[in-house]
């Protein structure tokens, strides 16, 4: 089966008013889970499904143990796993304590064997599934919000998504832009925002 992809506008370029540039991105339609992996491996070997699952569980535990030791883990034909760390923005070698250091991410660098195998087997096909946000400029968004707040007092991210035809990520980006420009005000918590028009915008005089 080919890898389904589509073209997406690169946000950093379009927001600067420059000529739009596009990048290709995989359109994900399915998440492969542990049961799928166990079933597929069991068809290609004599190990029982229970044995395969036990090995995969132990592999996860072994990764955690070695990464916590500060080591890199190399799986031949797959790649390297290693940690990247986070530190305060104002970190100072003389004053910053170890308690302020955290795990930023578990990084992965693919083995050349894996990359070469992918390159030789992968096929690509333009996806018929469209998961893009609607293409609205700031003036069109303002007009939609003016009409919305004429009949509604509050706005949530989910309602904003439906109103503008945006994906979750695009909706969050535009909402943050509107807050930064003092057009919207979050009247609830940061993790569960609810928005109202700021004074002078969208009918709030």
Q: Is the pLDDT of residue 142 over 80?
A: yes
More confident residue, 18 or 116: 116
More confident residue, 71 or 19: 71
Q: Token pair of 35, please?
A: 């049961």
pLDDT in tens, 8-46: 767 654 445 567 787 888 877 678 889 999 999 999 999
Q: What integer is the mean pLDDT of 108-137?
A: 85
| pLDDT the model gives residue 31 | 80
| pLDDT the model gives residue 131 | 57
Distance from C-alpha of 159 to C-alpha of 112, rounded to nearest angstrom: 45
pLDDT in tens, 160-194: 988 888 888 889 999 999 999 999 999 999 889 99
Mean pLDDT, the chain, whole residue set:
89
Q: Token pair of 73, please?
A: 């883990």
| pLDDT the model gives residue 13 | 43
Q: Is the domain covering 138-197 a CATH 1.10.10.10 domain?
A: yes
| pLDDT the model gives residue 40 | 96
Dihedral-angle region of residue 70 (phi above 0 means left; psi in -120 to 50 means alpha; beta otherwise): left
| pLDDT the model gives residue 17 | 58
| pLDDT the model gives residue 71 | 97
Q: What integer is the mean pLDDT of 128-154?
A: 83
């Amino acid at each position: 089966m080919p890898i389904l992809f589509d073209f997406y506008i690169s946000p950093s370029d379009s927001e600067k008013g420059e000529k739009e540039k596009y990048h290709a991105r995989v359109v994900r339609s399915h998440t492969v889970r542990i049961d799928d992996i166990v079933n597929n491996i069991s068809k290609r070997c004599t190990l029982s499904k229970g044995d395969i699952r036990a090995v995969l569980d132990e592999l996860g535990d072994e990764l955690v143990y070695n990464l916590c030791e500060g080591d890199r883990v190399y799986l031949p034909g797959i790649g390297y796993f290693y940690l990247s760390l986070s530190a305060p923005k104002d970190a100072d070698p003389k004053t910053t304590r170890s308690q302020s250091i955290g795990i930023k991410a578990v990084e992965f660098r693919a083995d050349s064997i894996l990359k070469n195998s992918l390159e030789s087997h992968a096929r690509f096909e333009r996806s018929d599934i469209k998961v893009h946000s609607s293409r609205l400029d700031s003036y069109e968004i303002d007009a939609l919000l003016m009409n919305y707040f004429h009949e509604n007092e509050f706005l949530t991210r989910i309602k904003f998504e439906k109103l503008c035809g945006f994906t979750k990520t695009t909706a969050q980006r535009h909402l943050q832009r509107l807050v930064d420009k003092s057009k919207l005000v979050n009247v609830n918590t940061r993790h569960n925002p609810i928005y109202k028009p700021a004074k002078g915008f969208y009918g709030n005089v």
